[in-house]
Amino acid sequence: MLLHDKTHTVRHLKRVQQGIDFIEAHLDTEIELLEVAKAAGLSQWHFQRMFRALTNETLKTYIRSRRFAKALDQLLGTRLPILDIALAAGYETQESFTRAFKSCFRITPGQYRAFGSRSLFVKKVELNADYLHHIHRNVSLVPEIYEQSAMQLVALRTLFYGIDSEKNNLAKKLPPLWASFLSRLGEVPHAVPGVCYGVVSPVRESSDQLQYFAAIEVNQPAAPPDGMLALEVPSARYAKFGHQGPAQGIDNTVNYIYSSWLLSSGASHSGGVDLEVYDSRYHPTAGNSLMHYAIPIHGMDAGSR
């Protein structure tokens, strides 16, 4: 089993590394995030989610930092005009490159070239099992693997950018959505009481924008209240993880799921929707609050832990 886990981890880390290597090979061209993910054999959302969990950095920020690193190298190691370096780094003008450079490093490209320091270099990420262990050396979450039957839900929907995007606005979008939804729960016909769900999925394959549904299950179809919509979650096998404490800390649990656990478990994300599960044990601010985060998976048997 340990050999299987190690092999699975190495295989998935190799996939992420393939995406990083693709970035390195295309720093002089326009890099589409979807193409990076395809080079790794993953969907854009799941590659971005895994990359963020492993490196604590968004994919777009990393690409920009690597272009800066190449620009730094060219400033010191070549006689290329600064304009040429700026264009290769993805900037339309030397002026825009200089503004971005000075904002990042507090000096201009010309001053950096004259100064001659290599201390600003942003290194390429290299992923391996030791690095993974370093990030999560104190984490020991074990999920429940279960078969989720198809659910009919009624929900309110919003669009947002998650922590794997530099446009992250999750904290602004989700609390008002939940406040609005919970205030209208009594309007939902045939609601199954006791449990609410947060449903998370990409808007489309080539976007880092996500859609989020604050939802409750219903036991028979009916026209949803004004402004709400009906949503079906297909049956799937899920791995469900407990998260204790305020919901604001859920990112730590999700990072663990998408890096340590998913890389070492032998399972893979099926591409379905992620679920947040809120029952009577959840409280928005209490330290002993308990909620669950579940991801749909291929592999592993239901009932295993």
Residue 86 domain boundaries: 2-115
| CATH number of the CATH domain containing 283 | 3.20.80.10
Q: Tell me whether residue 305 is in a domain.
A: no
Q: 160 vs 2, 151, 163, 165, 200, CA distance in Å?
A: 38, 23, 10, 10, 10
Question: Do 69 and 162 reside in the same domain of the chain?
Answer: no
Answer yes or no: do 178 and 273 share one domain.
yes
Residue 52: pLDDT band (50, 70, 90) is: confident
Domain assignment present for 131: no
Mean pLDDT of 227-238: 96
Q: Identify the residue with better confidence: 11 or 121.
A: 11
Distance from C-alpha of 119 to C-alpha of 136, rounded to nearest angstrom:
28
Domain count, the chain: 2
Residues 103 and 160 in one domain: no
Give per-residue pLDDT as tens, 170-228.
888 999 999 999 999 999 999 999 999 999 998 887 777 889 999 999 999 889 999 99
On the question of pLDDT at 74 being above 90, the answer is no
| Class of residue 220 by CB neighbours under 10 A (exposed 0-12, middle 13-18, buried 19+) | exposed
Answer for the pair 208, 167: CB distance below 8 angstroms, yes or no.
yes
**Judgement on whether residues 107 and 233 belong to the same structural domain of the protein:** no
Is 278 buried (19+), middle (13-18) or exposed (0-12) by CB count in 10 A? buried
- pLDDT above 70 as % of the chain: 85
pTM to 2 decimal places: 0.68
Q: What is the pLDDT of residues 126-185, one digit of tens each?
A: 655 554 443 343 333 578 999 999 999 999 999 998 777 778 888 889 999 999 999 999
CATH of the domain at 97: 1.10.10.60
Instruction: Return the pLDDT at 191.
Output: 96
Q: Are 16 and 51 in contact (CB under 8 A)?
A: yes
Do residues 209 and 258 share a domain? Answer: yes
